[in-house]
Every structure is written in structure tokens, then in C-alpha cells.
Amino acid sequence: MSSSAKMVETHYKRQNLEAAILAALETAGVDLNQLRATDLAPIDEFHIGGRKATLELARQLDLNQEMRVLDVGSGLGGPSRCLALEFGCQVTGIDLAADYCRLANLFARQLGLDSRVSYQQGNALELPFNDQSFDLLWTQHVSMNIADKAKLYREMWRVLKPGGKLAIYDVLNGEGGPVLFPVPWAREPSISHLISPQQLRDQLEQTGFHVLHWQDNTEKGRVWFRQMGDRIKQKGLPRLGIHLLLGKDFQLMTQNQVRNLEEGRIALIETIVKRPL
């Protein structure tokens, strides 16, 4: 693993993460032997907008049970399990964080999804799959930690079948000034590699992809954070939430994330592109 990849893995690594999440589930009254996907939604959809954002993107993709999907940067596996449950897809997840992959596989087994969903540790710049292996590639809030965008999208192109689609929901540079750190994907700038929306579009097109859908979700993200803030003020911090993943920096990271969005320092773009036949 490269030094930059190790730095990213270290950023996401948490001491006793599995024990903390299992304890939080128990405290929340969740029986792991009767686990439902909705029980995990507060923590396993580690991106702005949560499960709602996942479903809004997925419903534009004509998914079905014949499709083989690769989730690049799969985290705890919420989106990939959602695709398997809602649309019947066969999904493989890959993530740098071994702890995330272990928990994702545990949750898949407990939900009875391990025949349709699996997870493995790996690097998005060196995908351990044969050429043209997948009908769809899926990635949410991942490229911020990857400097070599050209290599990233070439790898995605390589493993995608001709006619296949790549669905992206990512954090990008805004026009409101430099990003305020720490943020959920980086405590300081050395592992943060944002590009502008236009640079993303240019990179995808230079790789050979055809843009089918392009949507700015920045305002949606602002509204989502405002609503989350209101809930926390009214009810306090939930037992199960992304604060378990972010650790002691959660409050400052969230404050900065909100300010970065409100001041236009970051933007949220959703796009679907296609590898031509």
C-alpha cells in the first residue's frame, strides 16, 4: 500500500470500532440476530443525504437482479446493501479500511445478504478485478481522498463493461474559498484532493465517458445538515450515528462541513456517465 493510501486508511481507522458500533446497536435496542437494514441507516450511509441520497441516485439507473455492481469506497456497506435489497443486484464492495470491510461483511451476514453482497479491502487505483467485469460502478464521497483522478477513472473504465454506467456522488471544490479543516474525509489538507465540478466533468470526458446526468446537490446538502442540526438540538445526539466513525473530532468536523457548504467552499455533484459500446 502506498504511503498516501496508508495515511487515508489511518484517518478512517478507529480503535475498537466494531465493539463501539455493536454496543451502540444494543443500547439502541437493536437485536443483531433480528437486524434490519433500516437499523443501520444512521451509521452505514456515510455521506451527505444518507439513504435518501442513495435511493435518489439508484432510481435513475434501471437496476435489476442481473446486474453486477462494484461499490468503490464501500465503507460500512450501507449503499451496496441498499442496492441488493431494493433492486436485487449482485454487489461487490471495496474499501481501504479493513475494519469497515469486516463490519460490512458481518452486517451482510446478519441481514442474510451475504450471497448477494461481499466486501474486500483494496485500493481504487489498483482494482483487483478483471477488465470489463461490472455492469455498474458506484461511488459516493470517495474521490476527495484520491489525488490521481486520471488513474482513478481509468481504472473504473477498465473494469466497467462497454455500455456500463458509472454513478458518482462526490464532494468537490466550491467557489467560496479554501476548505476549512478538519472535515469528515481529512483532518488536514495533505489527504484532501478536491477538484472543481468542471474539472470532474473534463476528467470523465477525457477518460472516454459520456455524461448522461449531471446535477448540483449542494443546496440539498445544506438543507439536510440544517435538518440534522435541528434534530440534534431537539433530541440530542443519537445513540447510533456517524459520530461513532468520526470520533472526538465529530463536532468540529460537522461544524466545518456545514460552514464549508453554507459558504460555498465545497459543492456536491451527482452524475451518471456511460462507457460507450
- The C-alpha cell at 174 is 466550491
Which residues span the domain enclosing 250? 3-274
Q: What is the pLDDT of residue 238?
A: 78
Q: What is the pLDDT of residue 230?
A: 85
Percent share of the chain, pLDDT over 90? 75
Report the CATH number that the domain containing residue 106 is assigned in CATH.
3.40.50.150
What is the domain count for the chain?
1
Rg over CA atoms, the chain: 18
Q: What is the mean pLDDT of the chain?
A: 94
Q: What is the pLDDT of residue 191?
A: 96
Q: What is the pLDDT of residue 232?
A: 81
Which residue matches cell numbers 436485487? 88
171-198 residue pLDDT tens: 999 999 999 999 999 999 999 999 999 9
H or E stretch at 126? none
133-177 residue pLDDT tens: 999 999 999 999 999 999 999 999 999 999 999 999 999 999 999
- The C-alpha cell at 165 is 454506467
Nearest to 137 by CA among 149, 154, 115, 150: 154
- Judged against a pLDDT cut of 80, whether residue 216 lies above it is answered with yes
Q: What is the pLDDT of residue 196?
A: 98
Q: What is the pLDDT of residue 57?
A: 98
Global pTM exceeds 0.75: yes
239-263 residue pLDDT tens: 788 888 888 888 899 999 999 999 9
Q: What is the pLDDT of residue 5?
A: 86
Angle ∠(115,119,120) on CA atoms, nearest 5? 135
Q: How many CB atoms lie within 10 A of CB 190?
A: 13
What gap in Å lies between CA 109 and CA 95, rounded to an integer?
18
Which residue matches cell numbers 451509521? 43
Q: What is the pLDDT of residue 42?
A: 86
Specify the 3-state DSSP secondary structure of 57.
helix
